[in-house]
């Protein structure tokens, strides 16, 4: 069985089939991306500019780890990160932050 995943390039996003079980998330790159999440238990939805390959975020209601349904590159016109730097990132809910032991956005 094959599932679709995003392959990020500098200027576009494309979809490619990959063998099931190859990764836990659609995106398999090394950089941070934008992710869309939906908790399978309570159906709560959220989006995050701190989404990573094979890493989930904990649902605030159910306290279960949720992997993103969709991922895409961050929009960076002229190489600038335009995501809201003032918006708080709940590190206690982020699997990447927990694994690193510090704020995941510090990873370049």
Over range 66-76, report the average pLDDT: 91
Q: Are 64 and 108 in contact (CB under 8 A)?
A: no
pLDDT digits (tens, 9 = 90+) for 9-67: 444 443 333 445 579 999 999 999 999 999 999 999 999 999 999 999 999 999 999 99
Q: Which residue segment(s) compose the domain that 98 sits in?
A: 2-75+87-106
91 belongs to a structural domain: yes
41 belongs to a structural domain: yes
11 belongs to a structural domain: yes
81 belongs to a structural domain: no
51 belongs to a structural domain: yes
| pTM over 0.85, yes/no | no
Give the number of domains in the chain: 1
pLDDT digits (tens, 9 = 90+) for 82-102: 556 678 899 999 999 999 999
């Amino acid at each position: 069985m094959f599932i679709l995943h995003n392959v990020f390039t500098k200027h576009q996003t494309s979809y490619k089939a990959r063998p099931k079980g190859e990764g836990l998330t659609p995106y398999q790159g090394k950089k941070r991306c934008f992710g869309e999440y939906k908790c399978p238990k309570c159906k709560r939805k959220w989006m995050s500019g701190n989404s990573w390959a094979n890493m989930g975020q904990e649902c605030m209601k159910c306290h279960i780890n949720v992997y993103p349904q969709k991922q895409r590159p961050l929009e960076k016109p002229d190489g600038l990160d335009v995501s809201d730097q003032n918006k708080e990132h709940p590190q206690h809910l982020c699997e990447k932050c927990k694994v690193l032991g510090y704020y995941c956005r510090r990873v370049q």
